[in-house]
Structure 1
């Protein structure tokens, strides 16, 4: 049972780091900045802006850039929302 707690206590800071970097920090980016980036991507790439953001998010995942992955996820969601509003 002691080994369990040793392992648990060693993993806990790593898990907390990933939660802060991947979830909390990207949520602190102002919504206006996310909208601006999304609008710029839609202007530059048109309907392919969603795919561009998806590729950027995957690249951040591949290179273990947790914060960037969370940021691009928010941008990708905003692009999807803006594109759906344009087409309705």
Structure 2
């Protein structure tokens, strides 16, 4: 009977050890996933920022071009009034 009890305790200890190892492995895998996810987010944010800056530059260039067109039209209009 005492040996059965010892065997039961040994089995419980082994099950607890196995559970602890499985839990630790699971947490480590989740931690790795979160690190990877964070890195991907940082990369996406950088791409977004660069894309935003590129679009902003293009819009600024378009606005400057439109301003030049307005100035030319204004010059032509002023010339016609003076003629």
Report the TM-score when normalising by structure 1.
0.32
Larger radius of gyration: 2
- Higher RCO structure (Cα 8 Å, ≥6 apart): 1
Higher helix share: 2
Q: TM-score, normalised by structure 2?
A: 0.33
